[in-house]
Chains A and B, each alone.
Chain A
Amino acid sequence: MVDRFMEDKTKRVDVDITGVDAPKKTINFDDLKTGGFIKQKQKDLFTVRLRCPGGRMDSEKLVEVSKIAQKYSKEGVVHFSFRQSLEILYVDYNDFSDIVKEIEALGLKVASCGPRVRVPTACGGCEYNPNGLSDTQGLAKMVDEKYFGTPTPHKFKTSFSGCPIDCARTNEMDMGFQGVVDPEWVEDLCTGCTICAEVCKEDAILADPETGKPIFTEANCIYCGDCIRACPTEAWIAKRQGQIVRVGGKHGRRPKNGFEVARFLPDAKVPEAIEKTIEWYTTNGERGERIGTVLRRLGVDHYVDFMKPVYGEFALKPKKPMEYDPS
Chain B
Amino acid sequence: MSDDIEVKESIDLRGVMCPMNFVKAKLKLEAIETGEVLEIVLDSGEPIQNVPKSIKDEGHQIVDVKKEDGFFRLKVKKN
Contact = CB atoms under 8 A, between A and B. Distances in A.
Contacts, number: 41
Task: Identify which of B1, B49, B54, B74 gathers the most chain A CB atoms within 10 Å of its CB.
Answer: B49
Contacts of A226: 49, 53
B30 interface: no
A130 interface: yes
B44 A229 contact: no
Interface residues on A, range: 10 to 19
A198 B49 contact: yes
Contacts of A201: 49
Given A193-B65, A230-B49, A232-B65, A198 B44 contact: yes
Given A193-B65, A193-B67, A195-B65, A229 B48 contact: no
Contacts of A212: 67
Given A191-B1, A195-B72, A198-B44, A230 B52 contact: yes
Interface string B44-76: 100011001110110001110101000010100
Interface of B: 1, 44, 48-49, 52-54, 56-57, 61-63, 65, 67, 72, 74
22 contacts: A130-B53, A130-B57, A191-B65, A194-B67, A195-B48, A195-B52, A198-B44, A198-B48, A198-B49, A199-B48, A199-B52, A199-B53, A201-B49, A212-B67, A226-B49, A229-B53, A230-B49, A230-B52, A230-B53, A232-B61, A232-B63, A233-B62
Considering the complex of A and B, which 10 residue pairs feature the smallest CB-CB distances, nearest first?
A232-B62, A193-B65, A229-B53, A199-B49, A230-B53, A198-B48, A230-B52, A194-B67, A191-B1, A195-B52
